[in-house]
Structure 1
Amino acid sequence: MANNTTHVRRTPIRASKRIPFSVAIDNENHYSSCRKLGQRDGSMAQTNLERQVETRLREHEIRLTEGRRTLIQALGKADGPKSAADLHSRLGDQVPLSSIYRSLSVFEDAGVVSPHYSTKGVTRYELAEWLTGHHHHLVCVNCGVVEDIEIDDRLETQLEAIVEEIGRDVSFAPVDHALEIDGNCRQCQ
């Protein structure tokens, strides 16, 4: 029997920047003081990212064209999810906008990127968690900015226990979770 105090709410995850949770809480200037999850250290990591993506695409019988490779490189260097228009403005004439849209759709179908839907109807994409690591989101209810956060192991363990308990309360078997915290970002406070 479900607990009456537990409610199921379905909300899409939206666009984001990435910052470790402990740094965001403890450091007033957290944007410049932390390494972003999506950033790769040097060309070796970028090459490894491309190899992983190429392997995944090959499993789905999809070629990694030069345009798609350029798009993966841009997503790998991005500080958070980007819309097709964001990526096009960053890449200039290297990849046509129509190709970006098609490639993002192909990447989504292959599980290479995850879409994040904003309340304003803009879909932004980031590399899938199997490429970037598990993270959660801080969402500014005023301006719509979403930051990815990484929480420390102790808090992640507590969160997993809460998710399991909620699952038991509503007769549901969770296989994964994502935490989204709504509030006001530093600029909107």
Structure 2
Amino acid sequence: MANYLHQGDLPDGVFGGVASVAVDSETMGLRLGRDPLCVVQLSAGDGDAHLVQLSRADYAAPNLKALLADPAVTKILHFGRFDIAMFHLHLGVLTAPVYCTKIASKLARTYTDKHGLKDLSRELLGVDMSKVQQSSDWGAATLTPEQIAYAASDVLHLHRLRQRLDDMLRREGRAELAEACFRFLPHRALLDVEGWEDMDIFAHA
């Protein structure tokens, strides 16, 4: 188990042949169009994490972009709506196909309103995640060991969470509904990018 930090892009062949990859990002804030994308972290579910510290001057990351848009690789995210929007804004790619553990949790775990990654990991995996570095300076030229460990932790457990949530979704008869939501999620992110982030276009009003 190791964490690897790459500058600018993923090296060639890092995720060659995988069927799914866990993905998360770190930004300077949560406002689309204002806050830059700084770091993208990924894991194949093998205990290793790869962090890409992006070049904000040009966001030239061809290997990363190709992976995010690869139709043969499912990207596992938590609250993927935000990451997908950020990737589209800054990297110019539409991330698909996707699996969102937050959506899966909301459909499967109707007995609670706690669907954060920390809550999910604690209940379903017995893993207590630290969120101390969540609000740190991700635009810094040099990331601290604590930042690297935090970013890695956000992707290291997503494959196992997907397995647990899939079991619950099948048990509750909601697996097909979840899949439909995942297929729509990239389009929901595009609506956010285009200015409809605060509006439910399916609502009556």
> TM-score, structure 1 length as denominator?
0.27
Q: Greater RCO between the two (CA within 8 Å, min separation 6)?
A: 1
Normalised by the size of structure 2, how large is the TM-score? Answer: 0.26
More helix by share: 1
